[in-house]
A and B are shown apart, each in its own frame.
Chain A
């Protein structure tokens, strides 16, 4: 598996963009283009990106800046503190799902705030729910439903749909559910599918990436 040159993480007022400082501009730009095209719903016009690599070559930074600008997106300077009053990008969905901010505990990648979307109902067949940050479902996720989050996913109920955490390449993202029996679990660019003879799980479980593989283990909650 090739290492990702860039990583995108949702924060309260946009995204953090982490770039491998050894890469050159064309490579980075290609990969960024691919990632933006994969989930255009995450990046409505005016979305703010914050570059968090210190030693990136100036030309790469400038190149990225003008590339994002051409897409109607905005690259903030990493040296500047992004003001907390910035407008949160609109998710583009007309539903009344509320988003709340949650302190990003236990992760030491800067003091950023991560957005969490909370859905307080059953997610049914044919529905797709996306979140620029993390996603919490208080209800069941039925077969045929799809959850996609830039951050992690927590299902307080049965999870039987397709779940994709860390959709922009966050390997630290995870999926937790009271009963985790999804058709597929995707984390960053890894995919695991359910066994052909599905079994009913008895306890809450967590799926995350360990040694380049998606692993599932029971958790207490």
Chain B
């Protein structure tokens, strides 16, 4: 049974695209057939995070306007054979694709692939409405920050109005040290407002930046806390019960080093 999942957030910069790339790679690593659709037309990034920019021939707009069949536009990942990217146009804007077109496309993709993951643009306008139209399930990404949580709340309301009932939450870029000292919202503060099922808590991790620069998502990388957290999310999506990890905090020595700016 295939599933269409939209990754959304309202606010920009919380890690929608990073999450999409990591979940896609994670699912492919576990043998699933996965298509990632970038719907952030005009500001596409997903291809960069996957390191596939130089392989793009056609894009989403070519497909929805019927110029090429979708098979031609799909870019196979260089490492994971069951992972495909459907990039969007960098030239057009959000009005180039409408909800009905994406729904038709997703219905086609459903027949071939286990998971279709849609990377939603920031905002609540047309791009957002197009991205969520075909989704069976929505994953809202937020950060422990008042503005991100406030926007996530708005998005959950919007999803409700669009009759998307299967909504879960990923809290990204948690800084355990700050949570502990009371300088950052903790999970209970976030749950208090959003009150939806949480399927992931991802710590802030410098390796996310380096992996993005290299175009290799770090899901499953045992050296990275964020990599392990993303792997846990993949397992939860596949229906496993995985307990939330406890974050390792920096040791005294590392903290001293940071304090002295080393």
Residue numbers of A with Cβ under 8 A of B are: 121-122, 124-127, 140, 142-144, 158, 160
Contact = CB atoms under 8 A, between A and B. Distances in A.
A62 B195 CA distance: 53
Contacts of B153: 124-126, 142-144
Interface of B: 150-151, 153-154, 156-158, 160, 192-193, 195
A124 B140 CA distance: 14
Nearest to B10: A125
Nearest to A124: B157
A126 B10 CA distance: 12
Contacts of A127: 157
A144 B195 contact: no
Given A124-B157, A125-B157, A127-B157, A144 B192 contact: no
Contacts, number: 29
12 contacts: A121-B160, A124-B153, A124-B156, A124-B157, A125-B153, A126-B157, A126-B158, A127-B157, A142-B193, A143-B193, A144-B154, A160-B193
Contacts of A158: 192
Contacts of A144: 150, 153-154
For the residues of B in contact with A, the DSSP-based class is helix
Contact of B150 (A121, A122, A125, A140): A125
A29 to B, nearest CB: 38
B154 A125 contact: yes
A57 to B, nearest CB: 48
Contacts of B156: 124
A125 B153 CA distance: 6
Given A122-B195, A126-B158, A142-B193, 20 more contacts: A121-B160, A124-B157, A124-B160, A125-B150, A125-B151, A125-B153, A125-B154, A125-B157, A126-B153, A126-B154, A127-B157, A140-B193, A142-B153, A143-B150, A143-B153, A143-B193, A144-B153, A144-B154, A158-B192, A160-B193
